[in-house]
Amino acid sequence: NILIKLSNISREELLRNKVLSNSDVKEIIMDGTSPKTDNFKRLALTDEGIIIFFGRYQIAPYYFGDYNILIPYSKLNLNI
Protein backbone atom coordinates (compact mmCIF):
# COMPACT_ATOMS: atom_id res chain seq x y z
CA ASN A 1 0.00 0.00 0.00
CA ILE A 2 1.39 3.40 -0.99
CA LEU A 3 0.20 5.05 2.25
CA ILE A 4 2.22 2.60 4.31
CA LYS A 5 5.32 3.26 2.19
CA LEU A 6 4.88 7.05 2.46
CA SER A 7 4.29 6.71 6.19
CA ASN A 8 7.36 4.58 6.86
CA ILE A 9 9.74 6.58 4.68
CA SER A 10 8.57 10.01 5.85
CA ARG A 11 8.70 8.94 9.51
CA GLU A 12 12.24 7.63 9.04
CA GLU A 13 13.35 10.87 7.36
CA LEU A 14 11.77 13.10 10.01
CA LEU A 15 13.24 11.12 12.90
CA ARG A 16 16.70 11.53 11.31
CA ASN A 17 16.25 15.32 11.29
CA LYS A 18 18.60 16.72 13.97
CA VAL A 19 16.27 19.55 14.98
CA LEU A 20 13.30 17.24 15.40
CA SER A 21 15.23 14.35 16.94
CA ASN A 22 16.68 16.63 19.64
CA SER A 23 13.21 17.57 20.83
CA ASP A 24 10.46 15.59 22.46
CA VAL A 25 8.23 15.25 19.39
CA LYS A 26 8.54 11.56 18.51
CA GLU A 27 4.92 10.84 19.47
CA ILE A 28 3.69 13.75 17.34
CA ILE A 29 5.79 12.54 14.39
CA MET A 30 4.42 9.01 14.79
CA ASP A 31 0.84 10.29 14.73
CA GLY A 32 1.40 12.86 11.96
CA THR A 33 2.97 10.27 9.67
CA SER A 34 0.60 7.39 10.37
CA PRO A 35 -0.73 5.82 7.16
CA LYS A 36 -3.92 7.87 6.90
CA THR A 37 -5.03 9.76 3.81
CA ASP A 38 -5.39 12.99 5.82
CA ASN A 39 -1.68 12.93 6.69
CA PHE A 40 -0.64 12.80 3.03
CA LYS A 41 -3.06 15.17 1.28
CA ARG A 42 -0.44 17.80 0.45
CA LEU A 43 1.90 16.32 -2.16
CA ALA A 44 3.81 17.53 -5.17
CA LEU A 45 5.29 15.37 -7.90
CA THR A 46 8.69 16.46 -9.19
CA ASP A 47 11.27 14.96 -11.53
CA GLU A 48 13.20 13.72 -8.48
CA GLY A 49 10.36 12.31 -6.38
CA ILE A 50 7.35 13.16 -4.25
CA ILE A 51 7.44 16.16 -1.93
CA ILE A 52 5.26 15.74 1.14
CA PHE A 53 4.21 18.91 2.92
CA PHE A 54 3.46 18.68 6.64
CA GLY A 55 1.55 21.52 8.26
CA ARG A 56 2.16 23.10 11.63
CA TYR A 57 1.15 20.84 14.52
CA GLN A 58 1.11 17.79 12.22
CA ILE A 59 4.60 16.55 13.10
CA ALA A 60 5.83 19.06 15.69
CA PRO A 61 4.69 22.03 17.78
CA TYR A 62 3.74 25.27 16.01
CA TYR A 63 7.10 26.98 16.58
CA PHE A 64 8.84 24.36 14.42
CA GLY A 65 6.90 25.69 11.44
CA ASP A 66 5.97 23.80 8.31
CA TYR A 67 8.10 20.91 7.12
CA ASN A 68 8.44 19.12 3.81
CA ILE A 69 10.46 16.17 2.69
CA LEU A 70 11.40 14.77 -0.70
CA ILE A 71 11.00 11.04 -1.18
CA PRO A 72 12.86 9.86 -4.28
CA TYR A 73 10.82 7.59 -6.53
CA SER A 74 13.52 4.93 -6.18
CA LYS A 75 12.72 4.60 -2.45
CA LEU A 76 9.08 3.88 -3.20
CA ASN A 77 9.77 0.89 -5.48
CA LEU A 78 6.70 1.68 -7.56
CA ASN A 79 5.77 -0.59 -10.43
CA ILE A 80 4.40 1.91 -12.91
CA distances in angstroms from 22 to 7, 40, 52, listed in the order given: 21, 24, 22
Ranges of each domain in the chain:
2-76
- Check whether domain 2-76 has CATH 3.90.640, yes or no: yes
Whether residue 38 contacts residue 26, with contact meaning beta carbons closer than 8 Å, is answered with no
Mean pLDDT in residue range 30-45: 96
CA distances in angstroms from 58 to 27, 42, 68, 79, listed in the order given: 11, 12, 11, 30
**Model pTM?**
0.86
Is 3 a residue whose pLDDT tops 90? yes
The confidence score (pLDDT) of residue 23 equals 67
Task: For 62-80, write each residue's pLDDT tens digit.
Answer: 888 889 999 999 998 876 6
